[in-house]
Amino acid sequence: MSTNDNKNLSSTERIKMASDGLRGTLKESLHDELTGAIREDDQALVKFHGMYQQDDRDRREERSAKKLEWLYSYMLRLRLPGGFMTGEQYVGLHNIAGEHSTGVIKITTRQTIQLHGILKSHVKPTIQAFNTILIDSISACGDVNRNVACAAHPKFSPIHEEIFSYAGKISKLGLPKTKAYYEIWLDEKPLLDPKEKEEVEKDPLYQDRYLPRKFKIGIAIPPNNDVDVFTNDLGLIAIIENDKLVGFNIAAGGGLGTTHGNAATYPRLASMLGFVRGEEQTLKAVLEVITIQRDHGNRSDRKLSRLKYTIDKMGVEAFKAELEKRCGFKLEEPKPYTFTSRKDDYGWHKNHEGKWYYTVFIENGRIADEKVALKTALLEVAKTGKVNFRFTSNQGLILSDIAQKDKKAVEKILNDFGIIEHTENAGAMRKSAIACVAFNTCSLALAEAQRYLPSLITKVEPILAKYGLQNDDISMRMTGCPNGCGRSYAAEIGFVGTAYGRYNLHLGGDREGFRLNKKYKENIDEPAILKELDELFEKYSKNRRAGETFGDFAVREKLVTF
C-alpha cells in the first residue's frame, strides 16, 4: 500500500482509502433532510470536492439554548489557476453568490474565490451553476494539490502569459482521476463496469491514498513576490534571460501552519533545490516532488504531515537526491534573481501591448457593498464585456486586459461608484494588510481576523501619522489561529489568535518574503497591542537607518532574535 514507514494510519487516511474514489456516502448525506450536516466521514471527503462543512459560530449559543441543531452550511472554494476569470464568468459568480450564499464574494490568499453560508440543499445547485460557466471546485480543498497561484499582474513581464500558462498546466497535472465529482454533483452516469471504472480512474499520482495533507504551489515572476513563493510546499521562480523564459528555480518545503503548545510544529520557508530548464523538466520536477511527499509524508499525525516536515526528516540534500533520481536528470545550480516587493500595485497601469489594468483595493478580500458599493460596481464593470478579472495572492483584484478604447468607460463606472477614490485614499498599511476569514465560520478560529483587523488598523493609523510613518508600506497580517492562512508568520508585524480578543504579536519579517518573523509578545489584548506598537513605531522613527524597513529594524535592534 505504501512505501512510507507509518504503521498507525490516521482516521482520515482510512476514510480516504475506503471512500470508493472520494464518493463515500455523500449522495446519501445530501438526501438526509433531517440535518443540515453531512455524515462524519463525508466531512473529510467533501473537502476534495472543494467544500468545508461549517456552522455560524455567532449563533451556536442561541441555537443550543433552544435545543436546535447548529446552523450548518458549506464553504465552496473554486479552482482558478492563477486567479483568472472572464468578465462573463464574474457576472455568473455574482449571481450565484446572491442566489445561494451569504452574497459576500471572498478573495482568498491563493487567488481564488470562496462563498460561505451555502445550505446543504443549495450545494448541488451551486456547483451545477458554476459548471454552466465552466468553473469547478475540484481539488480546491483536501489532501491534493490545491489552487496553483501565479504572479498576477501582466504588466511585470512581456512573457507573463507564457509563465501564467504553467498554473493551468500544473493544476491539470495535479487533478485526481476519480469521476466522483461529476457523478455526485453533475449527475453524470456512474461507471458500472468494474474493469472500465478501474481503467478510467487509475491514478498513478494519488493512487487510493491521495497526499498526507494539502499541497500548495506558487509561481513567482521576479521582481515581484506577490505569491509569497517561499511559503508554498513547492515554489517556482521564473528565470527570464534576454526576454525569454528559460526555466524555473525550484524551492520546496514551505508552509506556515503550527499548533499552539506543540513545539514539533513550526512555520518554515521553502529550501532552494536548484534550477530546471524548459517545460518538460519543470512539469516532471513538480510531479516528482508531489510523489516524494505521497510516499514519504507522515500519514499517522496530520499535524506533522506537510512537506516541510518530510524534507526536514529526510534532509534537504537527501530530498534533492531522491528528486533527481525520480526525475532522471540533475538539477542545475539556482539562477540569480531579485525580489523587490510583495505588494499589489494599485491604480492604472499599461502593459507592453498597450492594454490597461486597474488594481482595486479590496480590504481583506471581501467583495460586498459595505464602505463603498464595491460589489455593485464590479458587476457593472463585468457587464461591459471589456474586462477580465485577475485575483491576487494579497486578496486583491486586477481589472485586466482593457483596450485603450474601453478604458474611459471602465474608469467612469469606477469613479461613479467611488472605487477609485476608495482605492487612492486607503492608507499604506491598510493596502498591504491580509487577514484570514476566522469568525464566524471557521471552526478552527480562536480569535477574530477579517472582522477585526480593519478596525485595529483604524486605531493604528493615528499612531503611524504621529511618527510620520503613514506612507510606509509596513506589512501587517492577522490570523485567527496558528494555522497561518493569512500568512501572518511572513509579515513585518504578525498577529496570531490565541483566544477571543487576544493575539501573539510577531515581529521581524521582511518585505520581500525571504524571512519569517518571530514571537515578540504573547497573548495580548487590544490596549496592549496599541501600546506596544506606539513604542515600537517611536523607536523605529527615531533610530531607523536610511531606507531601512520596519522588519529589518526589528532584527537589527534585536527586538526579536533568530
Active site residues: 77, 146, 214, 216, 436, 442, 481, 485
Q: What is the DSSP annotation of 439-463?
A: TTT-TT-SS-STTTHHHHHHHHHHH
Cα(352)–Cα(350) distance, integer angstroms: 7
End-to-end CA distance of the chain: 41
Residue whose cell numbers read 490597461? 356
3-state secondary structure of 82: helix
Q: Residue 213, Cα to own-chain centre: how many angstroms? A: 15
Residue whose cell numbers read 448525506? 29
Cα(491)–Cα(433) distance, integer angstroms: 9
| Alpha-carbon distance values, 390 to 224, 274, 499 (Å) | 16, 30, 35
| Alpha-carbon distance values, 54 to 79, 109, 116, 228 (Å) | 20, 19, 9, 28
Q: What is the DSSP annotation of 506-557?
A: EE---SSSS---EEEEEEE-HHHHHHHHHHHHHHHHHHPPTT--HHHHHHHT
- Backbone φ, ψ for residue 253 (5° rounding): 105, 15
Q: Residue 269, Cα to own-chain centre: how many angstroms? A: 15
* CB atoms closer than 10 angstroms to residue 320: 20
Instruction: Give the strands of the sheet with 397-402, arranged side by side.
Output: 84-86, 388-391, 397-402, 356-360, 347-350
Residues in Cβ contact with 40 at an 8 Å cutoff, skipping those fewer than 6 apart: none
Residue whose cell numbers read 433552544? 66
Three-class DSSP labels, 244-310: EEEEEEEEECCECCCCCCCCCCCCECCEEEEEEEHHHHHHHHHHHHHHHHHHHCCCCCHHHCCHHHH
- Backbone φ, ψ for residue 548 (5° rounding): -75, 130
Cα(207)–Cα(143) distance, integer angstroms: 12
Q: Is 288 exposed, middle or buried (0-12, 13-18, 19+ CB in 10 A)?
A: middle
Per the CB < 8 A criterion, the answer to whether 91 and 382 are in contact is yes
Size (the chain), residues: 562
Cα(561)–Cα(553) distance, integer angstroms: 12
Q: Residue 296, Cα to own-chain centre: how many angstroms? A: 24
